[in-house]
């Protein structure tokens, strides 16, 4: 196992080793977590000072959405403004992953994030395990529409917002607490993990299942690379465990492939 604990200067040998693995891979995949987006100004949800210190996660359960949709939507928009209230744009880590895909090196990005920043950076093959906050979905007819105009309607007093086609209740197109992950997205992610020659687990604490199981699946047959500031549950079995800032490590990696 290769290992570095310097967040400011990822060890060159490790970066070059991962770059060589990627260059030789037939199928390379990245799994990204909240740590990829914090440099864009999006707070981590679970860490100290994160979103769940300000908001009660129990208020964002699917059962609460069903029972109290108006109150849910009011607090949902407040939470979105707290998390995305500034000028949120892709950072160097998002751009580096998009560059790796454009170069034909990276085959897919599996993300636990719902912020839409991978797509904004130009990545095309994205598996959104937890959905995306950029859309809302009708609970009745399953029509999906952009979220921003719906958020505006909530701010103007339409609570809960309803589908313009069928009058069904609109829901954020994300996986709420108490909901199952979309089976299609999970199955696609599992297939990528099984087929990966190189699997990058990036900016994730790897604490939340079932996403946390994907690196172990990938590591059985391929090279497992962890890039995260803190140790993770799979750091001890990773082929490369880089304790590094992803906005430093990923651009350095993209520059060497």
130 is catalytic: yes
What's the rounded Cα separation, in Å, for the pair 76 and 55? 10
Among the listed residues 94, 118, 130, 192, the single catalytic one is 130
Please list, residue by residue across 10-45, b when 16 or more beta carbons sit within 10 angstroms of its beta carbon and e when fewer do: bbeebbebbbebbeebebbbbbbbbbbbbbbebbbe
* Token pair 């209230």 in the structure block, residue: 85
| DSSP sequence for 88-119 | ----HHHHHHHHHHHTT---EEEES--S-HHH
Of 145, 139, 147, which Cα lies nearest the Cα of 167?
139
In angstroms, the first-to-last Cα distance of the chain is 21
What's the rounded Cα separation, in Å, for the pair 204 and 37? 10
What's the rounded Cα separation, in Å, for the pair 205 and 27? 23
Of 183, 257, 234, which Cα lies nearest the Cα of 31?
234
The catalytic residue positions are 130
């Amino acid at each position: 196992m290769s290992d570095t604990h310097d967040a400011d200067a990822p060890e060159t040998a490790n970066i070059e080793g991962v770059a060589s693995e990627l260059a030789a891979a037939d199928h390379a995949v990245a799994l990204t977590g909240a740590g990829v987006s914090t440099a864009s100004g999006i707070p981590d949800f679970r860490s100290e000072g994160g979103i769940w210190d300000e908001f009660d996660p129990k208020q964002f359960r699917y059962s609460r959405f069903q029972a109290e949709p108006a109150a849910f939507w009011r607090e949902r928009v407040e939470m979105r403004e707290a998390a995305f209230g500034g000028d949120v744009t892709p950072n160097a880590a998002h751009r580096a992953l998009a560059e790796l895909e454009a170069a034909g090196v990276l085959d897919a990005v599996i993300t636990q994030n719902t912020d839409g920043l991978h797509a904004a950076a130009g990545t095309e093959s994205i598996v959104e395990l937890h959905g995306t906050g950029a859309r809302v979905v009708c609970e009745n007819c399953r029509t999906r529409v952009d979220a921003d105009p719906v958020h505006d309607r909530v701010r103007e007093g339409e609570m809960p917002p309803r589908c313009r086609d069928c009058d069904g209740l609109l829901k954020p197109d994300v996986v709420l607490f108490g909901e199952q992950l979309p089976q299609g997205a999970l199955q696609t992610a599992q297939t990528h993990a099984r087929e990966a020659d190189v699997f990058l687990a990036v900016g994730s604490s790897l604490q939340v299942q079932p996403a946390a199981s994907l690196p172990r699946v990938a590591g059985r047959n391929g090279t497992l690379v962890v890039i995260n500031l803190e140790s993770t549950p799979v750091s001890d079995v990773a082929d490369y465990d880089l304790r590094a800032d992803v906005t430093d490590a990923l651009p350095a990696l993209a520059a060497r492939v």
